[in-house]
A and B are shown apart, each in its own frame.
Chain A
């Protein structure tokens, strides 16, 4: 009951935010906020694969692309028909219903690709897996380039603008909550044990195969939803947005945040989204902003190789009002 009450509370709060924030806050800041949130979803989901489970994936942009293009196809081609059949509903509800459908479609299609990529990960590790996932991302991109129905090299344009603050905030919160509670559970220990030592993990009775694949599936699912948000926000998807550079960008975020730290992934995703923008205001040296950005990363890695927060994730449940009383150890 409390859970349900909290859920409804958050739901209403996010609806209010969606209604009133655009009136109070400058559109430029809202734009940055939206991009930050999408990057937070990507970083937190990749962190489950790379940080917690220790499977080095370079294909997150590929998962994002599959989710983005699948969902955009759903809303672009199927959306109008669904809305037409739902004419008994108010237009706004029908529209958001279609978007929910697209989000799930995007997430599930990416998750399916995650399943396909997870299978080679049973045999490969480290550098080899990185190359396989990198190849997967490039295959996805080249396939998209050659399919005319989804825009090909011109990009997929005229995607309906369904992404709003409600969906952005809800999905960011959902991703963080889902990955955090998964990591804190006994499944979380199993993911960690795969990263630490696979043989020992097997000897403990952990089905390492299952956990490696499931990490890819869950990580890809959220990346696919991020792609959906991204496409329906910009109203345009272009293959160039999903090169391996995008995957690297997300990897940098989780390394800067500290591999395995969800809190670190969130903070770093926000910082690294805003930093290049903030550097625009540097006046005389603003032409050097990408150099300064790179230098900042190098200095951070030299002084704190474990990332900003290392492995550390604060125990937010301590402040959660509905938690069960914990036995004192």
Chain B
């Protein structure tokens, strides 16, 4: 895995919460322009892996390399500067701030005002609903709109790599489809994406490959074709 095409490599990552090991020695990589997905049940360590990548958690062992350079001991606000943007689980929007203020905070580290304006227009292009609600407090948005805002906000830092944690959680099926369409669109513009999902079927449909996590370990690397050909896999992880 020393290919220079990797935008991010995770090598032998171990993360603990106190004495409990949540991620056990996992390794994977994502190439420039790819979407990969981490799938698995609750508690498998998917979100923990994302948090370790964005610096919100400190790994005990292992290495995370962004374009070949280690992210060891780099605080989260520096990680954002280096081009990794994290849309955390449970949306975590700023409920008492307006939609516009939320998006502006997404671009908090940037000083290039005209480009920020363009990026905001780009987000509104992806999510026209947000533009209608620009002056509204984010807490008054519907669940789907809040998710759109969380993704839009993560895009405002103009990332090279976007970490999306369960973007489909709690959304109506129709909205889930729409969100996945947008994720594909974002990717088509050159942003690499690591997608954490419980909705494995949808996620694998847009991802180059998926890593199946089970109690902190990667047990399988799968592609969308495997869903069709591998009966056992479908039964075990993807709900028939």
Chain A residues proximal to chain B, CB less than 8 Å: 186, 189-190, 192-193, 196-197, 199-207, 311
B92-110: CB near A (< 8 Å → 1, else 0) gives 1111110001001110110
A203–B54 touching, CB < 8 Å: yes
26 pairs, CB–CB < 8 Å, chain A vs chain B:
A186-B108, A189-B108, A190-B108, A192-B94, A193-B94, A193-B105, A196-B96, A196-B97, A197-B94, A200-B88, A200-B92, A200-B93, A203-B56, A203-B80, A203-B92, A203-B154, A204-B106, A204-B108, A204-B153, A204-B157, A205-B76, A205-B81, A206-B105, A206-B108, A207-B77, A311-B96
Q: Bound complex: CA of A204 vs CA of B104, how far in Å?
A: 10
B92–A189 touching, CB < 8 Å: no
B81–A189 touching, CB < 8 Å: no
Chain B minimum-CB-distance residue to A205: B80
Residue B217 at the chain A interface, CB threshold 8 Å: no
Shortest distance in angstroms between A200's beta carbon and chain B's nearest beta carbon? Answer: 4
Give the total of B residues in contact with A, Cβ under 8 Å.
27
Chain B minimum-CB-distance residue to A193: B105
B92–A197 touching, CB < 8 Å: yes
Chain A minimum-CB-distance residue to B89: A199
Contacts A189-B105, A202-B77, A205-B76 given; 13 further ones with Cβ under 8 A? Answer: A189-B108, A190-B108, A192-B96, A193-B108, A196-B96, A203-B80, A203-B85, A203-B86, A203-B87, A204-B105, A204-B106, A204-B108, A207-B75
A residues within 8 A CB of B56? 199, 202-203
Chain B residues proximal to chain A, CB less than 8 Å: 54-56, 75-77, 80-81, 85-88, 92-97, 101, 104-106, 108-109, 153-154, 157
Q: Bound complex: CA of A207 vs CA of B101, how far in Å?
A: 18
B95–A196 touching, CB < 8 Å: yes
A residues within 8 A CB of B105? 189-190, 193, 201, 204, 206
A203–B76 touching, CB < 8 Å: yes
Shortest distance in angstroms between A190's beta carbon and chain B's nearest beta carbon? Answer: 6
A residues within 8 A CB of B93? 197, 200
Give which listed residue, A197, A201, A205, A207, contacts B157 with CB less than 8 A. A205
Q: Bound complex: CA of A186 vs CA of B97, how far in Å?
A: 13
Q: Bound complex: CA of A204 vs CA of B110, how far in Å?
A: 11
CB within 8 Å: A-B pair count = 66
A189–B95 touching, CB < 8 Å: no
A residues within 8 A CB of B108? 186, 189-190, 193, 204-206
B80–A199 touching, CB < 8 Å: no
Chain B minimum-CB-distance residue to A197: B92
B88–A203 touching, CB < 8 Å: yes
Shortest distance in angstroms between B146's beta carbon and chain A's nearest beta carbon? Answer: 12
Shortest distance in angstroms between B9's beta carbon and chain A's nearest beta carbon? Answer: 21
Shortest distance in angstroms between A292's beta carbon and chain B's nearest beta carbon? Answer: 33
Top 6 A-B pairs, shortest CB-CB distance: A205-B80, A200-B92, A196-B94, A205-B109, A202-B76, A203-B86
Shortest distance in angstroms between B51's beta carbon and chain A's nearest beta carbon? Answer: 9
Q: Bound complex: CA of A196 vs CA of B108, how far in Å?
A: 15
B residues within 8 A CB of A196? 94-97
A205–B92 touching, CB < 8 Å: no
Shortest distance in angstroms between A157's beta carbon and chain B's nearest beta carbon? Answer: 47
Q: Bound complex: CA of A197 vs CA of B105, how far in Å?
A: 12
A189–B76 touching, CB < 8 Å: no
Shortest distance in angstroms between A179's beta carbon and chain B's nearest beta carbon? Answer: 18
A residues within 8 A CB of B87? 203
B104–A189 touching, CB < 8 Å: yes
Max chain B Cβ within 10 angstroms of own Cβ: one of A193, A197, A205? A205
Max chain B Cβ within 10 angstroms of own Cβ: one of A197, A199, A200, A311? A200
Q: Bound complex: CA of A319 vs CA of B54, how far in Å?
A: 43
A189–B101 touching, CB < 8 Å: yes
Q: Bound complex: CA of A200 vs CA of B89, how far in Å?
A: 10
Chain A minimum-CB-distance residue to B87: A203
B88–A199 touching, CB < 8 Å: yes
Q: Bound complex: CA of A199 vs CA of B95, how far in Å?
A: 14
A residues within 8 A CB of B104? 186, 189
B residues within 8 A CB of A201? 105
Shortest distance in angstroms between B195's beta carbon and chain A's nearest beta carbon? Answer: 16
Shortest distance in angstroms between A18's beta carbon and chain B's nearest beta carbon? Answer: 40
Q: Bound complex: CA of A205 vs CA of B105, how far in Å?
A: 9
B residues within 8 A CB of A189? 97, 101, 104-105, 108
Max chain A Cβ within 10 angstroms of own Cβ: one of B76, B87, B106, B109? B76
